[in-house]
Chain A
Amino acid sequence: MAPAAVKKNRPKYLSLRALLFEIRLPITGWVSILHRISGVLLFFGTLWMLWLLDRSLESEAGFEAVRHYTALGPVKLGLLVLAWAYSHHLCAGIRFLFLDLDRGADRETARRTSVIVFAASFALTAWLGWKLW
């Protein structure tokens, strides 16, 4: 990289190894890293969703094919994972928007809202799973 900018030696904790084995994350950290992981899942999941949308709207036969396909066990599991990823990304994202406004940035509130994010995203996932089958 061009050395034009002043080199700053600030610590960065971004290595996957460190995150998995060396650092014990507080619950607020779990909300954060799962926001990132769910984002990656959604990036690739979009391809799958578009395929399902395409097939389901193209014809009645396509719609029925999608219905049978999504009734398969592994497919259901995959859809549930994506539903969780969407729910978590949404709930954690709303929390981050409040943090941007300096709302709930103190430790106690931040931990409480993290618990709320996990509870809300699991509830939303369960509701979606129940509603879609």
Chain B
Amino acid sequence: MSARVVTGARYGLRDWLAQRITAAIMAVYTLIVLVSVSRWGEPLGYAVWRELFAQGWMRVATLVFAASLAWHLWVGVRDILMDYVKPDGLRLALHALVLLLIAFYLGWTVEILWR
């Protein structure tokens, strides 16, 4: 074991855990969606599709999925940027862009669900 110098930085446990919890939430949502997809008998019509997303539980479940996805995307993409993008300024700028895009995703999802 190497001695760890305290620098004030977090050591990533929270992100590690968040990545797994959000993954589990999304896996459950995926299962729900797959079960409903498997029940589609005939070609899906607009009425059925609209009705599905008009239900309260589906909206809430989708919002929970979207929030999990947002957090999961941030941890995952940030890890990738930390691995490959070495210049600090460029990495910081990319982090900001990624956060903006994720915020946009989340806002758009809310707008679609509660239009």
Contacts and interface: CB of A to CB of B under 8 A. Distances in A.
Interface of A: 1-2, 4-6, 8, 14, 16, 36, 39-40, 42-43, 46-47, 50, 53-54, 56-58, 60, 63-64, 86, 90, 93-94, 97, 100, 128, 131
12 contacts: A2-B7, A6-B2, A39-B76, A39-B80, A40-B80, A43-B77, A43-B98, A46-B105, A64-B46, A90-B30, A128-B37, A131-B38
A90 B40 CA distance: 22
Q: Which 10 A-B pairs have the closest CB atoms?
A: A63-B46, A4-B7, A60-B46, A14-B83, A54-B112, A39-B76, A5-B5, A50-B108, A93-B23, A6-B5
B53 interface: yes
**Interface majority SS (helix, strand, loop, mixed), chain A:** helix
**Interface majority SS (helix, strand, loop, mixed), chain B:** helix
Interface residues of B, number: 32
B57 interface: no
> Among the interface residues B24, B37, B46, B50, which one has the most CB atoms of the partner chain A within 10 A?
B46
Given A6-B3, A40-B80, A90-B30, 4 more contacts: A36-B80, A57-B50, A63-B49, A97-B20
B115 to A, nearest CB: 7
A4 B5 contact: yes
A97 B80 CA distance: 19
